[in-house]
Structure 1
Amino acid sequence: MPRPPFPTKRRAADLAYDAIEALISTLRLEPGSPVVEAELVELTQLGRTPVREALLRMVSTGLIDQQPRRGLLVSHIDLADHLDVIQTRRVLERLIAACAARRATAAQRQEIVRCAEKMMKAAARGHLEDYMRADHELDEVNHQASQNHSAVKCVVPLVVQCRRFWYAYQHEGEIAEGARHHMELAQGIATGDEKAAVHGADQLMDYLERFARRVIDS
């Protein structure tokens, strides 16, 4: 039986993870900066236990480093490693797109196109925050629709790394192009066309790779 398209209740630790992830990916928590649990509890308005659980997950995925005598630090952006991040993400995104095209509910197919449309509108206005918010929403629907928990678990830290990289070097990016590729992915999933969905995922990864190479070569 397929999962409900939009869960009505999420664990506090998941909410804490999302909130801290947003702080890291938008560089409000800068690379190399110390992670102070009490500050995160105040920022997220969640308890110490869910915040601590979220931080442990981030240590395991490499978003946060645990160093002797220095405690927890936000991991640095590694330019040399970033192309490998994209190559690894490409394999997972192709799988997730194909699964979503096969398994998405009617409501999820409509929602993923709606998110892509929001990205297109935000890009046309040049509104970065709205664009990134819609991007995050599209990822969530896509991941739910795929019903492939293993692939989603592996891809989420890579998505955050790419989002953080993009924020750090956004002067090299073009959000209108990114929005177009997200729409291509969304339409492939919405129509149930696995080949088109995978092609959209590839186009999106090509865009991120071109962006990364411009940054690395500059």
Structure 2
Amino acid sequence: MKKNSSTRNAVRRESASQPEQLLADIAFVQIEEMIITRKLPPGSMISESQLAAEMEMGRTPVREALQRLRQIGFVEMLPRRGTLVAGVDIRQQLELLEVRRPLEELVVRVAALRATPEERANLQRLAQQMVAAAERGDMEAWIRTGGEIHDAEVRATHNSMLITSMLPIHAQSRRFWYHHIMQNRAYVEGAQLHSNVLTAIAAGDGDRAAAAAHGLMQFIERFTRSALDTF
């Protein structure tokens, strides 16, 4: 995803003054985005030094970010060769959905119960933001908002185990969607289904949130199978 020069420079100025761990977090987000948007395409080799130079930081936070990306299946570490961007396996997405479906319904039930007023307001804002991005046909904004929604939902559970478990599942899902969503033009329906979930969580209605999440997961499975049929 492209950033304008002023935004990129601001990020770099901020990065230069941050401690090492925060730099690793910044590197993780930026490299993850490069992989999702295929700026770093599947099968390509990653140069730590080149990424460090581009993001204007040392190699240590980049190396740590790549290790975290390996844990969620975005890259592979090849002995004596370096770091490879992993491919996207559509059949693996169906396996992922078997795991995601019950966890997703648990997430939204718990979030509906425990979310703070500020978190509920943010979820409502994100619902409107995703629908607006879909109506504009702005897929980069759609995918970016999807990531914010996933993060906001799981953090609203205030359950560290759920947050840790859902991180790699949601990351792989975003990567798959970015590649296939434009081919199916299903983003408007997807945005509305996400909005239904978020609205129910914000209202504190766990049963309605779970039912909406079930509908969303049915849509995602249908979408994934249609991509498999054309693969």
TM over 0.5: yes
Moved more, 131-140 or 30-39: 131-140
- For 2:194, which of 143, 160, 182 is the aligned residue? 182
What is the CA-CA distance between 1:182 and the residue it aligns to? Answer: 0.8
> Structure 1: which 4+ aligned runs deviate by more than 4 Å?
none
The superposition leaves residues 114-154 of structure 1 with CA deviations (integer Å, 9 ceiling, x where unpaired) of 01101111111111122122222222221221112212212
2:222 is the alignment partner of 1:210: yes
Query: In structure 1, what is the equivalent of residue 152 of structure 2?
Result: 141
Query: In structure 1, what is the equivalent of residue 48 of structure 2?
Result: 37
SS in 2 for 1:146: coil
2:134 is the alignment partner of 1:120: no
Q: Pick the structure with greater CA Rg.
A: 2
Q: Specify the code of the residue in structure 2 equivalent to 1:143.
A: V
How many residue pairs get aligned? The number is 210
2:121 is the alignment partner of 1:102: no
Is the contact between residue 63 and residue 157 of structure 1 (CA under 8 Å) also seen in structure 2?
no
Q: How far apart are the structure 2 equivalents of 1:187 and 1:32?
A: 39
Is the contact between residue 143 and residue 178 of structure 2 (CA under 8 Å) also seen in structure 1?
no
The superposition leaves residues 164-207 of structure 1 with CA deviations (integer Å, 9 ceiling, x where unpaired) of 11122221241110101110110111011111122222222222
What is the CA-CA distance between 1:60 and the residue it aligns to? Answer: 2.3
Is the contact between residue 196 and residue 212 of structure 2 (CA under 8 Å) also seen in structure 1?
yes
Q: Specify the code of the residue in structure 2 equivalent to 1:182.
A: H
SS in 2 for 1:72: strand
Q: How far apart are the structure 2 equivalents of 1:49 and 1:33?
A: 21
The superposition leaves residues 96-124 of structure 1 with CA deviations (integer Å, 9 ceiling, x where unpaired) of 21121111110110111101101111111
Is the contact between residue 66 and residue 73 of structure 1 (CA under 8 Å) also seen in structure 2?
yes
> Alpha carbons of 1:51 and 1:118: their partners in 2 closer, same or farther (altered >3 Å)?
same
Query: In structure 2, what is the equivalent of residue 6 of structure 1?
Result: none
> Alpha carbons of 1:110 and 1:32: their partners in 2 closer, same or farther (altered >3 Å)?
same
Is the contact between residue 166 and residue 173 of structure 1 (CA under 8 Å) also seen in structure 2?
no
Unaligned regions of 5+ residues in structure 2, if any?
1-18
Query: In structure 2, what is the equivalent of residue 84 of structure 1?
Result: 95
SS in 2 for 1:27: coil
Q: How far apart are the structure 2 equivalents of 1:113 and 1:161?
A: 24
Question: Could you state the TM-score of these two structures normalised by the residue count of structure 2?
Answer: 0.84
The higher relative CO (CA closer than 8 Å, separation ≥ 6) is in 1
SS in 2 for 1:65: strand
Q: How far apart are the structure 1 equivalents of 2:103 and 2:56?
A: 33
What is the CA-CA distance between 1:28 and the residue it aligns to? Answer: 1.4
- For 2:32, which of 11, 17, 21 is the aligned residue? 21
SS in 2 for 1:179: helix
Query: In structure 2, what is the equivalent of residue 4 of structure 1?
Result: none
Q: How far apart are the structure 1 equivalents of 2:53 and 2:169?
A: 27
What is the CA-CA distance between 1:66 and the residue it aligns to? Answer: 1.3
The superposition leaves residues 68-101 of structure 1 with CA deviations (integer Å, 9 ceiling, x where unpaired) of 2322101111122110112212222222211211
Q: How far apart are the structure 1 equivalents of 2:187 and 2:122?
A: 20
Is the contact between residue 146 and residue 174 of structure 2 (CA under 8 Å) also seen in structure 1?
no
Question: Could you state the TM-score of these two structures normalised by the residue count of structure 1?
Answer: 0.89
Unaligned regions of 5+ residues in structure 1, if any?
1-8
Q: How far apart are the structure 1 equivalents of 2:166 and 2:56?
A: 27
